[in-house]
């Protein structure tokens, strides 16, 4: 498994719009690009951390070309609501002991 960690700073009063766009885009990436999903964590009012899981580095590296047009709406909303969106790390998972569970 391969994991990508993100640091996100949103603009004031944009939390709901950002979260909805993040959720919509994540679902499309999961459906069309083979990701294993993502988790979003709130650090404080404007700062979030997220990580996306992928089956392997190759799947991550080759993702992006299969998304429907709808993905552009979510990307544009995320760009409009964020001050900063950066990749912190890209990591291979050595051992996974998280319980399998889907939640929104």
Element (H, E) at 71: helix 70-81
Contact 63, 13 (CB under 8 A): no
Question: Model pTM?
Answer: 0.88
Q: Give all domains of the chain, ordered by start, each with its CATH number.
A: 2-92 (3.30.70.100)
Is beta strand 47-54 parallel, antiparallel or unpaired with respect to 2-10? antiparallel
> pLDDT 10s digit of each residue in the chain, 104 long?
999 999 999 999 999 999 999 999 999 999 999 999 999 999 999 999 999 999 999 999 999 899 999 999 999 999 999 999 999 999 999 998 887 766 56
Q: What is the CA radius of gyration of the chain?
A: 14
Residue 88's φ and ψ, nearest 5 degrees, are -90, -45
């Amino acid at each position: 498994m391969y994991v990508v960690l993100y640091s996100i700073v949103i603009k004031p009063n944009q939390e709901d719009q950002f979260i909805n766009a993040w959720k919509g885009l994540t679902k499309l990436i999961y459906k069309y690009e083979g990701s294993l999903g993502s988790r979003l964590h709130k650090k404080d009012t404007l700062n979030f951390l997220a990580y996306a899981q992928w089956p392997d580095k190759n799947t991550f590296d080759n993702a992006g070309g299969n998304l429907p047009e709808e993905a552009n709406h979510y990307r544009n909303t995320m760009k409009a609501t964020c001050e900063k969106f950066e990749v912190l790390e890209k990591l291979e998972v050595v051992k996974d002991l998280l319980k399998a569970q889907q939640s929104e």
